[in-house]
Amino acid sequence: MRVVVTGTPGTGKTTATERVADGLDLDVVHLNRLVKDEGLWTERDEDRDTLVVDLDAARDELGDWGGVVESHLAHHFEADRVVVLRCRPDILEQRLLDRGESEAKARENRESEALDVILGEAVEFHGEDAVYEIDTTERDPDAVADDIAAVVAGERDPSAGTVDFIDYL
């Protein structure tokens, strides 16, 4: 079983998947860490203060993987199920500011979340029947981890399009 957990930065992917890994016997790959550790990027985007990931190199590095891959780019990888973590845009923006992101980066991610950018890409790449939305707004990370575990176990129905933050634009 291959499950990717994706979402706008600040939605809680890393925290939740670390707790899923602790609760289940699953390998979890934190793609952003792998990219940095293995040099799987092509350039640094100075304006956005981020690395441009070489997705082909990352796919090659993962090989024939199983378990969970987590990243805001994870939906670009082949998977059986795609979990998209969501968060109310104003709270997401504050989370990013609290962890030291620039105002411009926090604002860009707030807008992306309100516009369903990652959800739209996930549905486009994988189809609605493979996508599971989980709203992390003001939720305990253990509860989010339980929801992800339910997706992994096949105990939850696909739910693309159930979270709507368009009013936050």
Which residues belong to the annotated binding site for ATP? 10, 12-15, 99
Centroid of chain to Cα 162: 17
CA 161 to chain centroid: 16
- Residues making up the annotated binding site are 10, 12-15, 99
Largest CA distance in the chain: 43
Between CA 26 and CA 13 the distance in angstroms is 15
Find the angle CA(113)-CA(115)-CA(118) to the nearest 5 degrees. Answer: 60
Helices 103-114 and 89-98: crossing angle, nearest 10°? 150
Residues in the chain: 169
Helix %, strand %, coil % for the chain, to 5?
45, 20, 35
